[in-house]
Chain A
Amino acid sequence: MLQSKTRDGRWFQIGVGIFLTTVLLIILIPFWRVIVTAFVPLDTYITEGVPFFLPLKKWTAEAFTQLMGHTQFTIALRNSVIITVLGVAISMTLTIPLAYGLSARNLPGRKLIVAIVLFTYLFNPGLIPVYLLVTSLKLQNNFLAVILPPALSVFNTLVMMGFFEGLPDDFKEAARLDGANELQVLWHVILPLSKPILLTIGLFYAVFFWNEFFTPILYLNDGNLIPLPVLLRNILISSSLNEFVEYNAFSTTSVESLKAAGVLITMLPMLLLYPWIQRYFTKGSLVGGVKE
Chain B
Amino acid sequence: MKKWTTLLLVLLIALTSILSACGTSNEPADTTAAEPTAMTEPTAAPEAAAAPEATEVPEPAAAAEPVDISMWALASVTEAGPPADDWIAYDRIRDELGINLHYTIIPPQGDGETKLNAAAAANDLPDLFMIVSTTNDRDNLRTYHDLGLIAPVDDMFAMMPERTKTHYNNPVLIDLDSFDGQAYGLPNPPGITNREGLVIRQDWLDNLGLEAPTTPAELLEVAKAFTFNDPDGNGQDDTYGIGAFIEGSGVGRRFNPIFGAYGVVDLWNFVDAADGNFGLNVRDPQYYEAMKTMIEFTDAGVIDPDWPTLTKDEFRARWKQGRTGIMWEDFAALTNKSNYTPFDDNFPDASWTPLPALTGPGGEHVYGLNEANFSTYAVSQKAADEGKKEAIARLLEWMATDGYYLIGFGEEGVNFNLDEDGYITLDGIDPDLAFNSPAMQPPTQLRGTAFYNTLAEISARYPNYETNNGREMTPIKTYLEFFQSQQWIEGFAKKLIPPPENAADFYRYYDEGILQFALGQKELTPESWAEYLAGLDSLGAVQFEEGARQTLTDAGLLP
A residues touching B (Cβ–Cβ < 8 Å)? 42-43, 45-47, 49, 70-72, 94, 97-98, 101-102, 104, 106-109, 113, 116-117, 120-121, 124-125, 127-133, 135, 148-154, 157, 176, 181-182, 208, 213-215, 217-218, 221-224, 230-231, 233-235, 237-239, 241-249, 251, 254-256
Given known pairs A130-B22, A131-B118, the reply for A238 and B338 (CB within 8 Å) is no
Q: Is the CB of B16 within 8 A of A94?
A: yes
Among candidates B26, B72, B115, B330, residue contacting A150 with C-beta atoms closer than 8 Å: B26
Q: Inside 8 A of A104's CB, which chain B residues have their CB?
A: 3, 6, 10
For residue A150, give the distance in angstroms from its CB to the closest CB of chain B.
4
Q: Is the CB of A131 within 8 A of B122?
A: yes
Task: Name B58-117 residues within 8 Å CB distance of A.
Answer: 72, 75-82, 104-105, 107-109, 111, 114-115
Q: Is the CB of B13 within 8 A of A72?
A: no
Q: Is the CB of B6 within 8 A of A101?
A: yes
For residue B434, give the distance in angstroms from its CB to the closest CB of chain A.
10
Q: Inside 8 A of A113's CB, which chain B residues have their CB?
A: 10-11, 14
Chain B minimum-CB-distance residue to A70: B79
Given known pairs A181-B2, A214-B111, A245-B42, the reply for A152 and B441 (CB within 8 Å) is no
A131 to B4, CA, bound (A): 36
Does residue B5 face the partner (Cβ distance < 8 Å to A)?
A: yes
Q: Is the CB of A149 within 8 A of B20?
A: yes
Given known pairs A182-B2, A244-B41, the reply for A223 and B105 (CB within 8 Å) is yes
Q: Is the CB of B338 within 8 A of A242?
A: yes
Among candidates B3, B13, B17, B72, residue contacting A106 with C-beta atoms closer than 8 Å: B3
A49 to B77, CA, bound (A): 27
Among candidates A49, A133, A157, residue contacting B314 with C-beta atoms closer than 8 Å: A49
Chain A minimum-CB-distance residue to B339: A243
Q: Is the CB of A246 within 8 A of B23?
A: no
Q: Is the CB of A237 within 8 A of B108?
A: yes
Given known pairs A94-B20, A154-B17, the reply for A245 and B122 (CB within 8 Å) is no
Q: Is the CB of B339 within 8 A of A242?
A: yes
Q: Inside 8 A of B42's CB, which chain A residues have their CB?
A: 244-246
Q: Which 10 A-B pairs have the closest CB atoms?
A: A120-B21, A223-B82, A101-B10, A149-B23, A243-B333, A246-B461, A238-B79, A251-B338, A152-B20, A235-B79
For residue A269, give the distance in angstroms from its CB to the closest CB of chain B.
18
Given known pairs A113-B14, A116-B14, the reply for A234 and B336 (CB within 8 Å) is no
Q: Is the CB of A121 within 8 A of B21?
A: yes
Q: Is the CB of A239 within 8 A of B79?
A: yes
Does residue B40 face the partner (Cβ distance < 8 Å to A)?
A: yes
Task: Name B325-356 residues within 8 Å CB distance of A.
Answer: 330, 332-333, 336, 338-339, 341-342
Q: Inside 8 A of A71's CB, which chain B residues have their CB?
A: 80-81, 438-439, 442
Looking at A46, A49, A230, the one whose CB has the most chain B CB atoms below 10 A away is A46
For residue B221, give the distance in angstroms from its CB to the closest CB of chain A.
30
A8 to B450, CA, bound (A): 77
A284 to B165, CA, bound (A): 78
Q: Inside 8 A of A120's CB, which chain B residues have their CB?
A: 17-18, 20-21
Q: Inside 8 A of A47's CB, which chain B residues have their CB?
A: 317, 321
Q: Is the CB of B6 within 8 A of A214?
A: no
Q: Is the CB of B115 within 8 A of A217?
A: yes
Given known pairs A49-B314, A94-B20, A241-B36, the reply for A218 and B115 (CB within 8 Å) is yes
A to B CB contacts below 8 Å, 8 in the list: A42-B342, A71-B80, A98-B16, A121-B21, A152-B23, A223-B104, A237-B40, A246-B460
Chain B minimum-CB-distance residue to A112: B14
Does residue B25 face the partner (Cβ distance < 8 Å to A)?
A: yes
A157 to B18, CA, bound (A): 13
Among candidates B7, B21, B29, residue contacting A154 with C-beta atoms closer than 8 Å: B21
For residue B202, give the distance in angstroms from its CB to the closest CB of chain A.
22
Given known pairs A71-B438, A98-B17, A182-B6, the reply for A217 and B111 (CB within 8 Å) is yes
Given known pairs A46-B320, A97-B9, A106-B3, the reply for A214 and B24 (CB within 8 Å) is yes
Task: Name B204-231 residues within 8 Å CB distance of A.
Answer: none
Q: Inside 8 A of B104's CB, which chain A residues have their CB?
A: 221-223
Among candidates A46, A107, A124, A234, residue contacting B78 with C-beta atoms closer than 8 Å: A234
Does residue B276 face the partner (Cβ distance < 8 Å to A)?
A: no
Q: Is the CB of B118 within 8 A of A234?
A: no
Does residue B465 face the partner (Cβ distance < 8 Å to A)?
A: no
Does residue B503 face the partner (Cβ distance < 8 Å to A)?
A: no
For residue B381, give the distance in angstroms from its CB to the closest CB of chain A.
17
Q: Is the CB of A124 within 8 A of B342?
A: no
Among candidates A116, A148, A254, residue contacting B313 with C-beta atoms closer than 8 Å: A254
A124 to B27, CA, bound (A): 12
Chain A minimum-CB-distance residue to B460: A246
Among candidates A49, A117, A129, residue contacting B17 with C-beta atoms closer than 8 Å: A117
For residue B355, give the distance in angstroms from its CB to the closest CB of chain A.
20
For residue B511, give the distance in angstroms from its CB to the closest CB of chain A.
22
Q: Is the CB of B23 within 8 A of A214?
A: no
Q: Inside 8 A of A117's CB, which chain B residues have their CB?
A: 14, 17
Q: Is the CB of A135 within 8 A of B122?
A: yes
A130 to B29, CA, bound (A): 14
Chain B minimum-CB-distance residue to A226: B81
Given known pairs A148-B20, A151-B20, A246-B436, the reply for A46 and B3 (CB within 8 Å) is no
A255 to B462, CA, bound (A): 21
Q: Is the CB of B13 within 8 A of A46?
A: no
Q: Is the CB of A157 within 8 A of B20?
A: no
Does residue B124 face the partner (Cβ distance < 8 Å to A)?
A: yes
